[in-house]
Amino acid sequence: MADKISAENLLNNLMDTFAEKRKPVSFFEGESSNSLHSQFRRLFGRQKPVHHLLGGGKSADVLLWRDKKISASVLTSATSVWVLFEWLNYHLLTLVCFALVLIMLVQFVWSNASGYSSSVPSEVPRLALPEDFFVNIAKTVGAEVNRGLRFIQDVSCGGNLKQFLVVVGSLMSAAVIGGWCNFLTVIYIGFVAAHTLPVLYERHEDEVDNFVYKILDEMQNRLSLDAGFLSRISKGKLKGKKYD
């Protein structure tokens, strides 16, 4: 009898402990799954940080303002070039000639002043670009152009209608914007957007994602309501015709 009671007590204790351990685990699993679902509900379904999506290298550091001095200097240089060409109506040949004249004047003054000031003239610094400088630029530009062409052809041959329409709409929008302003202004707008929008999104990604998903949910609800309303109208017209 005692053995039976002890066995029953042991069985009951095991069942109680199993139930006690199981309840909090299921609760926390549900909570963690909900938190993960809310955490990964990012724009375009992304699950990686913005820095990783931008390449994760020095270019991503510049675009996300990891080093504020470098990012500010790059944006200032681009703005200066745009102001020179657009507001002051300079041309590339004019700027190149002015720069070469300035370099020649500096070298001329340096060489003559050093000859008068000392018996042994100091060596004038020479400006020389590396031989592979333009080769690297050409390789980089060619690789980016080929990657863009590959992406466009993959979209056109992939069979994804939604992605195809998005790319075609983007190209048509770029064509319309290009009709409003010249090519340099379009490049400058894209350059400024690339140096401002990613860092703003990274700082306020939760608010932006929630706002975008709210708009998408509202549009989806309205479209579903409109589709239901139109289906009712069509059914009513068909019934009326059948009755006649």
> pLDDT (tens digit, 9 = 90+) per residue, 45-57?
566 777 777 777 7
pLDDT band at 234 (very low <50, low <70, confident <90, very high): low
In the predicted model, is pLDDT for residue 186 greater than 80?
A: yes
Identify which of 38, 47, 43 has the alpha carbon closest to the alpha carbon of residue 215.
Answer: 43
Mean pLDDT taken over the chain: 75
In the predicted model, is pLDDT for residue 19 greater than 80?
A: no
Give the pLDDT of residue 178: 80
Domain boundaries, the chain: 1-38, 204-244
| Cβ-Cβ contacts under 8 Å for 92 (sequence gap 6 or more) | 85
Give the pLDDT of residue 83: 92
pLDDT band at 25 (very low <50, low <70, confident <90, very high): very low
Distances (CA, A) of 54 to 50, 74, 145, 153, 233: 6, 17, 17, 22, 49
Give the pLDDT of residue 231: 65
Identify which of 93, 95, 104, 96 has the alpha carbon closest to the alpha carbon of residue 127.
Answer: 104
Provide long-range contacts, Cβ within 8 A and 24+ apart, for 129-134. Answer: none
Most trustworthy range by pLDDT among 26-40, 120-134, 138-152, 159-173: 138-152
Give the pLDDT of residue 149: 93
Query: How many CB atoms within 10 Å of residue 188?
Result: 19
In the predicted model, is pLDDT for residue 99 greater than 60?
A: yes
